[in-house]
Amino acid sequence: MTYLRLAGLSVGALCAASAAFAQGYPERQITMVVPFAAGGPTDTVARLVAEKMGTDLGTQIIIENLGGAGGTLGASQVAEAEADGYTVLLHHIGMATSETLYRNLAYDTLNAFEYVGLVTEVPMTVLARNDFEPADMAAFIEYVKANGDSLTLANAGIGAASHLCGMLLMQALEVPLVTVPYKGTGPAMTDLLGGQVDIMCDQTTNTTKQIQGATVKAYAVTTPERLELFPDLPTVAEAGIPAAEVSIWHGIYTPKGTPAEVNEALSASLQKALADPGIVKAFADLGTTPSPAEDATPAALKEKLETEIARWKPVIEAAGVYAD
């Protein structure tokens, strides 16, 4: 539709056109951008959800991993994509923290996207390579405090959940660990397993199998309560560092201007996917639960993003860590 034809349409006609567009939607394959490397926790959640949503929508949702710059690279590509419903972004809490962490962000977080809904909230675990000396969380704290400036901390770049968790840990322990950035915590986990880095803080969606297989050393969980999956792991609050408490929520976005009907169609499909027993089980096996239907909505995600930007801004400013 040309600009001239659009300019000639009334608002009512535009709404009708948009509703008609949504009715035929989707007519082709949808791309879901994951702003981190394949094999990591965001990728895992995205692949599970995309497959179910695709089946429901009668199309294929393919995953495109665009890792780099703590998730902001992938987010900026989606911000610039066609607002036609065929490019969506699955991102986590980093969508909110990057707004403060990056003073020269390529997009205006609250004005560059439309909202589909919340997907899940995932606990973080504090880990180290398998031959890391400390036996438990109390010893870990003591050891890291004494040796902090020579220990390495893997993360997925400034803006990633692993970065936020690591930052809270460093602040709480008052140690400057040497950070090693990756395009995602999938590759970071490979290096942790290989002993090339010492410590990592990451979602259970990427750490459960390794903790269960005892191929890494797990020290604590960042949730207010202990996890059913790892009842022996203390919470960070129990360990005396409640300021390191954090849960990683995920949401699905579309570029600004994507018709509301399309976002609603995606949201309805997301709700169905999250209620699917297979997804519930797969999420449970990875230490997480799907967001309830009332949160898998555009309004709930918008509110969450706004609240979380405001929540983390003072924390990041107090830490004084910026990406630029």
List contacts with ligand ASP (CB under 6 A): 36-37, 40-43, 92, 94, 155-156, 160-162, 184-186, 202-203
State how far the alpha carbon of 67 is from the alpha carbons of 164, 181, 184, 203, 321, in Å: 17, 11, 6, 17, 21
CA 248, CA 42: separation in Å to the nearest integer?
Answer: 10
Work out the burial of residue 303: count CB atoms within 10 Å of its CB; fewer than 13 is exposed, 13-18 middle, 19 or more buried. Answer: middle
CA 101, CA 317: separation in Å to the nearest integer?
Answer: 8
Q: Which is nearer to ligand ASP, 40 or 251 (by Cβ)?
A: 40
Shortest separation between residue 14's beta carbon and ligand ASP, angstroms: 38
Shortest separation between residue 211's beta carbon and ligand ASP, angstroms: 16
Shortest separation between residue 318's beta carbon and ligand ASP, angstroms: 21
Q: Which is nearer to ligand ASP, 125 or 258 (by Cβ)?
A: 125
CA 79, CA 178: separation in Å to the nearest integer?
Answer: 32
Q: Which is nearer to ligand ASP, 72 or 263 (by Cβ)?
A: 72
Q: Which is nearer to ligand ASP, 25 or 250 (by Cβ)?
A: 250
Shortest separation between residue 186's beta carbon and ligand ASP, angstroms: 5
Shortest separation between residue 175's beta carbon and ligand ASP, angstroms: 20
Q: Which is nearer to ligand ASP, 87 or 206 (by Cβ)?
A: 206
CA 33, CA 91: separation in Å to the nearest integer?
Answer: 8
Which residue's Cβ has the minimum distance to ligand ASP? 40
Tokens linked to 131: 């031959």
